[in-house]
Amino acid sequence: MKMVLAGAPPSDTDRERTLLRRARTGDPAAFRWLFERHAAGVWRFLKDLLRDEAAADEATQETFVRAHARLGALRDEDRLGAWLLGIARHVYLESLRHRGTHVDMDDEVHGSQVEAVLPTPTPEDLLLDRELEGLLAGALGTLREDRRAALLLRIDHGLPYEEISAVMGWSLQKVKNEIHRARLQLREHLAAHVGGHS
């Protein structure tokens, strides 16, 4: 099973497994290595969900405090990345509850076909400059939270659909449908804001 976090190349997988074992025996240097390998991805995920850098800082620390406390209970050494992102999302949802924010989680999407035909322009010229980065952030922000989380777990954090299904608690088909719809929304938003491409 492939699972690649941004900043965590797969060639490091064996090393991660070794260091995870050491971290579980209480080796602080090994935990530090794991933190440094995954913290940026966790922070980015939380920033995308919370849309607030300071809040993402706090939530990232809380995620790793919890991970550290429960590291010994993680049985599948190859799922550390998904496990951390699952904790991060839990921390995020808890923070919403503390702020009294309601998240609509009930908008189940039905549909069996995932079609590739998209009414959008081609993206060849859309290099990621600062302006587009802002547009991208804005487009991501228009997505419903759970749909945004699922999309980012895939396109930013490289989780396989099965892992996303586990993190989100969705069926595999729902994961595919939600990510597909998120992509369409993202493209529509970007296409509407990029002149001369439609």
Partner 1 sequence: MSACRETELDALLADELSPEDTARVRAHAQACPACQHALSWLRAERGWMAQRARRMPARPALDFAALESRLRKPVVPTAPKVSWMHWGKMLTAALASVAFVGITTLQVTRLPSADEPWTRNDALTTATWAVDWCDDPSREAVAALEARVGACLVASPLITLR
- 115-174: contacts with partner 1 (CB under 8 A): 115-118, 120, 122-124, 126, 128, 132-133, 136, 154-156, 158, 160-161, 165-170
**Secondary structure element (H or E) that encloses residue 172, with its range:** helix 172-193
Check binding of 53 to partner 1 (CB under 8 A). Answer: yes
Check binding of 72 to partner 1 (CB under 8 A). Answer: yes
Check binding of 57 to partner 1 (CB under 8 A). Answer: yes
Q: Give the nearer residue to partner 1 in terms of CB position, either 15 or 36.
A: 36
CA distances from 187 to 34, 119, 182, 190 (A): 34, 9, 9, 5
Cα–chain-centroid distance for residue 151? 7
Q: Give the nearer residue to partner 1 in terms of CB position, either 19 or 179.
A: 179
Quote the least distance from Cβ 186 to partner 1, whole Å. 8
Quote the least distance from Cβ 16 to partner 1, whole Å. 15
Check binding of 180 to partner 1 (CB under 8 A). Answer: yes
**Count of residues touching partner 1 (by CB under 8 A):** 88
Check binding of 82 to partner 1 (CB under 8 A). Answer: yes
Give the separation between CA 124 and CA 197, rounded to whole angstroms.
9
**Secondary structure element (H or E) that encloses residue 194, with its range:** none
Closest listed residue to residue 3, CA positions, set 103, 93, 79: 79
Q: Give the nearer residue to partner 1 in terms of CB position, either 19 or 59.
A: 59
* 62 contacts: CB under 8 Å, gap ≥ 6: 91
By CB under 8 A, name the one of 17, 108, 114, 131 that touches partner 1: 114
Residue 22, phi then psi, degrees to nearest 5: -70, -40
Check binding of 183 to partner 1 (CB under 8 A). Answer: yes
Check binding of 45 to partner 1 (CB under 8 A). Answer: no
The CA-to-CA distance between both ends of the chain, in Å, stands at: 38
CA distances from 114 to 32, 164, 189 (A): 41, 17, 19
State the binding string over 90-109 for partner 1 (x if CB under 8 A, else -): xx-xxxxxxx---x-x----
